Amino acid sequence: MMKIFCFGDCNVDIVIPIREIPVKGGCSFSSHATINVGASAVNVAVTLYKLGFPTSIITKFGNDMFGYFVKTYLEGMGIDIKYLYPSNYDTGFTVGLIFPDGEKRWIAVRGDAADLHIGNDEIDQLDLCDVLYVSGVAVAEGKESRESAIRLAERVSQKGGKVFLDPNLRLPKWDVPDDIEDAFERIFKYVDVFLPNEKEIQLLGGAENIKKAALSILERGVSTIWVKRGKQGCSYFAKEEYFHLPVSKVKAVDTSGAGDVFDGAIIYGTLSGFTPGKCGKFANTLASFTIQRYGTTRALPNIIELNKLINTFEGKKDGQ
């Protein structure tokens, strides 16, 4: 059986729908909130598991109530937690404010989160995988996790495995510090499939024009790029091929985690032998489904809905 690792961040998301940001000293009210286990590495692992690909998560959690929640949830989901390491640092958490159009603003309480301290000692204990997904949070936000991510990507690549990378840049302003830019430069040579959004590829590719930015990154060793473009769908770039896939319009209530679900769907499609066009359409469809519900991993389709969706893309009739 193919061995898949998801490496990187792990935290709890507290998502609150609001109508507007209150004035200083004021208050904005909400009718409910959802609490989910989240972060990109976890979201992708759960997506792949629900799609039928058993996955291991490589991360760290704190000895606190959020850490207990994370561990219990992942165990209950059936995710392999052999490489879920305890830490003396706190489990990170985020507060997401969701606006009526489904867009959000995040406050991340992760300045020294446990998952930023995944070290080479943990990496050196691993049996190597066939497929590695790296959340760029590990590359951009933690010095220990950065070196571990690059080291693991190198080992998997040299073994002949496939490496997927989402940059997951979370910056207070759209300007990439030199050390973060250098870290991505170091890992690109080991990456097969790169999964940025529009702003991320512009920043890391050094160009406002999406195609020009993508070509710049392809020249650095990346084989394939999928650019997530929100309401516009996605764009695909490879050495000799480029195309854009629009997405059907839906009513978005919560876009949190949609990019991670897209990533998981791309990995699923790639490993299932889908053509690039079919792969992108599947990822667009699955991500669109999730933004019509509140939550991240909880917004994913149930098994009946998933089977129907997968059968549609694999050309099967229900029950086959």
- The per-residue pLDDT string of the chain (320 residues; one tens digit each, 9 = 90 and over) reads 799 999 999 999 898 999 999 999 999 999 999 888 889 999 999 999 989 999 999 999 999 999 999 999 999 888 999 999 999 999 999 998 988 887 788 898 998 999 999 998 889 888 889 999 999 999 999 999 999 999 999 999 999 999 999 999 987 777 899 999 999 999 999 999 999 999 999 999 999 999 999 999 999 999 999 999 999 999 999 988 999 999 988 888 878 789 999 999 999 999 999 999 999 999 999 999 888 887 767 777 776 787 777 777 766 554 44
Q: How high is the pLDDT of residue 314?
A: 66
Place of tokens 């409910």: 32
Topology (CATH) of 4-17+33-314: UDP-N-acetylmuramoyl-L-alanine:D-glutamate ligase (3.40.1190)
pLDDT value at residue 241: 93
| Domain range summary for the chain, segments of one domain joined by + | 4-17+33-314
Residue 81 · residue 28 · CB < 8 Å = no
pLDDT at 316: 57
Laid out side by side, the sheet with 241-245 consists of: 84-87, 56-62, 4-7, 131-135, 162-166, 193-194, 224-228, 234-238, 241-245
Give the largest Cα separation in the chain, rounded. Answer: 59
